[in-house]
Amino acid sequence: MTASTDIRDVAALLDRFRDHAMNDAALLQRLASIYDDSVFATAVAEVAAAQGIALSAVDVRNMMKPDPAGMSRFDETPPRGLAWPDTQWLPSAMVAAGPEMVVDWVHFAGRRLTDPFFMDSLIRARPLPINRLMRYRTPLSNFAQGAPAKGLPTPDGFVFHLSRCGSTLVAQMLAAMDDTIVASEPSPLDDVIQWARIRADVPIEIRLDVLRAMVGALGRDRTGGTRHYVVKLDCWHTLELPLLRLAFPDTPWVFLYRDPVEILVSHMRMRGIQTVAGASINTFGIVDGQNMPVEEYTARVLRSIAEAAIEHQPLGGGLLINYDALPDAVEAQILSHFGIDPDDDARAALRRAGAKDAKAPMHAFSRDTERKQQTATPAVRAAAVEHLADSYRRLEDLRLAQGATSGSR
């Protein structure tokens, strides 16, 4: 910081620069493409000087605080504006800031969402110099109203799943097509769905408006060539399928599942947060879960999700897909169900992605059915039989009744 300024002066000058920059999408994109802190600080100082704002490169560097985990989203910084930022910004979180809820935004520097999960892309974006200097948040109370007047995209399809059953492979295959945006388990959407579930006191019309706005914000065209948009949801969001159908009645959906023994084996190796009793809000209504064997609690969670898919099947628009049909089912069933008709190049890209391990793309896709069956413990098998066998059988009956096909084991 320069001798002629103190931190309050610099903060005020920086606010002036931010106000100027937020109205210039081209400037923001140019700054976002600079990854070196010193080069970035010099560029900001030069732009500021041209606007009569006396920020030095040293001042800028001193105000760029590292925040790789995004902990600043939990502070009480008030919103900076009502309008949404340009399309290169995506929501990163919905949190409380003092007495009000706010939506935080992060600049993605033109990068497509091609990582296995939205959080992976967000972790890459947060450390960019532009995001360490240019924080932007909007009030939830004006989130839906602040959307661009030209309208928001609606998804071509939703991907629901029982967890550990190929949903990431499906998402990666679809994202391999250059004209398709895939938001894979986006954390800010999870924030909204949890809020909509908890805040039953908020009128349903408002909750639906916020949900539509968040889904739309995540799917805005940032390349100029987007034709399709798919959202892969968290496994527990299957419980909220009626809410999503109410918000997007014309959007088709798929539900992916597999042999419960194989899902349980995967969770025993690495527990998903939903399968850890007491780790989050008791979404599944399981009493005394912390005193249950881990196999039983996990099986009960999975049963809740499977039963939700079965219960909500009559809402329409759904297609059940067994893991055994992947990856072929993406091209054979899911594309047409979502109304996506890719050209030859896009199909080739999709097939190449289907040949890779979705969570470790440097490795080839390998079906792990036999390995999981062989390593299942007696406790896993017992939990699967007691809590999930009936749900799995009913899913299979529904799938066969709808005319879906499953690959041979």
Q: pLDDT for 238-267, tens place per residue?
A: 999 999 999 999 999 999 999 999 999 999
Give domain status of residue 389, yes or no: yes
By residue range, what is the domain housing residue 54? 1-64
265 and 336 assigned to the same domain: yes
Most confident by average pLDDT, 31-45, 61-75, 147-161: 31-45
pLDDT band of 288, cuts 50, 70, 90: confident
pLDDT band of 3, cuts 50, 70, 90: very low
73 and 15 assigned to the same domain: no
- Nearest-angstrom CA–CA distance, 141 and 138: 9
Write out pLDDT tens, residues 390-407.
999 999 999 999 974 443
Q: Is the pLDDT of residue 115 over 60?
A: yes
> Residue 407: CB partners within 8 Å, gap ≥ 6?
322, 324, 325, 326, 328, 329
Query: 345 pairs with which residues across the strands?
Result: none
188 and 323 assigned to the same domain: no
The answer to whether 91 touches 214, Cβ cutoff 8 Å, is: yes
372 or 364: which leads in pLDDT: 372
76 and 219 assigned to the same domain: yes
Longest dimension (CA), the chain: 76
Identify the domain boundary among 206, 226, 246: 226
* Section 29-52 average pLDDT: 98
Q: Is the pLDDT of residue 8 over 70?
A: no
* Section 208-224 average pLDDT: 97
In this prediction, residue 359 carries a pLDDT of: 83
In this prediction, residue 77 carries a pLDDT of: 85
186 and 200 assigned to the same domain: yes
In this prediction, residue 6 carries a pLDDT of: 66
Give domain status of residue 276, yes or no: yes
* Section 170-187 average pLDDT: 98
**Helix 294-312 vs helix 260-269: crossing angle, to nearest 10:** 130
Identify the domain boundary among 64, 85, 100: 64
Write out pLDDT tens, residues 318-364.
999 999 999 999 999 999 999 999 999 999 999 999 999 888 888 88
**How many domains, in total, are found in the chain?**
3
246 and 367 assigned to the same domain: yes
333 or 7: which leads in pLDDT: 333
369 and 275 assigned to the same domain: yes
Closest C-alpha to 196, from 212, 185, 208, 214? 208
221 and 256 assigned to the same domain: no
In this prediction, residue 321 carries a pLDDT of: 98
Identify the domain boundary among 46, 64, 82: 64
37 and 134 assigned to the same domain: no
130 and 36 assigned to the same domain: no
Q: How buried is 58 (Cβ within 10 angstroms: 0-12 exposed, 13-18 middle, 19+ buried)?
A: middle
In this prediction, residue 365 carries a pLDDT of: 87
* Section 134-160 average pLDDT: 93
In this prediction, residue 409 carries a pLDDT of: 31
Give domain status of residue 329, yes or no: yes
Give domain status of residue 173, yes or no: no
Beta-strand (E) ranges in 52-161? 89-97, 100-107, 136-139, 157-161
Give domain status of residue 140, yes or no: yes
Give domain status of residue 117, yes or no: yes
Give domain status of residue 172, yes or no: no
84 and 19 assigned to the same domain: no
Q: Is the pLDDT of residue 5 over 70?
A: no
What percentage of the chain reaches a pLDDT higher than 90?
A: 81
In this prediction, residue 408 carries a pLDDT of: 34
Give domain status of residue 78, yes or no: yes
Q: Is the pLDDT of residue 2 over 50?
A: no
244 and 390 assigned to the same domain: yes
What percentage of the chain reaches a pLDDT higher than 70?
A: 96
DSSP run (H or E) holding 132: helix 129-133
| pTM for the structure as a whole | 0.93
- Nearest-angstrom CA–CA distance, 356 and 361: 5
In this prediction, residue 129 carries a pLDDT of: 97
In this prediction, residue 259 carries a pLDDT of: 98
